[in-house]
Amino acid sequence: MTRPLSHDLRSRLVAAVAAGMSCRAAAERFGVAASTAVKLMQRWRDAGTLAPHPQGGDRRSGRIEAHAGEILALIAGQVDITLTEIADHLEREHGERFAPSTIWRFLDRHDQTFKKNRARQRAGAGGRGERKAGLAHRAA
């Protein structure tokens, strides 16, 4: 991902345009894209700032975070509820559709995990356990 332009370059570009140079000419002079110069000038006129917008980050998790209390209550009520069941509940009750992967990321952010206990583990491979005393081999 690219870095924002330095504050020095931003201020020199704005000063050049303010002195009468066109955005495209200033962009060519300072070696940036014309669209960058146009957007920077638009931000300067609208917001009065040269600071870059924040980069990256999650912009969509707010939708599911609005239902955080309800999702966590569902899990508290039924520990082995599936991601699909949670998604179906949210669609039925609120008309909001979420992919199971979105619900998984929500649960991961909230440190909600489901660990299997010993009773639910698979059976071991045959012949690897201890022999029973009653099955002793006879010498021939």
What single DSSP character describes residue 130?
P
Q: Please check whether residue 47 is in contact with residue 17, taking contact to mean a CB–CB distance below 8 angstroms.
A: no
Q: For residue 76, what is the enclosing H or E element?
A: helix 68-77
Share of the chain above pLDDT 90, in %: 61
The phi-psi region of residue 137 (left if phi > 0; otherwise alpha if psi is between -120 and 50; otherwise beta) is beta
Show me where the domains of the chain are located.
Answer: 7-47, 62-117
Q: Please state the pTM of the whole predicted model.
A: 0.49
pLDDT tens digit string along 48-91? 999 988 888 777 788 999 999 999 999 999 888 899 999 999 99
Q: What confidence score (pLDDT) does residue 133 get?
A: 54
Residues 96 and 71: their CA atoms lie apart, in Å, by: 13
Q: Please check whether residue 70 is in contact with residue 16, taking contact to mean a CB–CB distance below 8 angstroms.
A: no
Amino acid at 25: A
Structural tokens at position 131:
């022999």
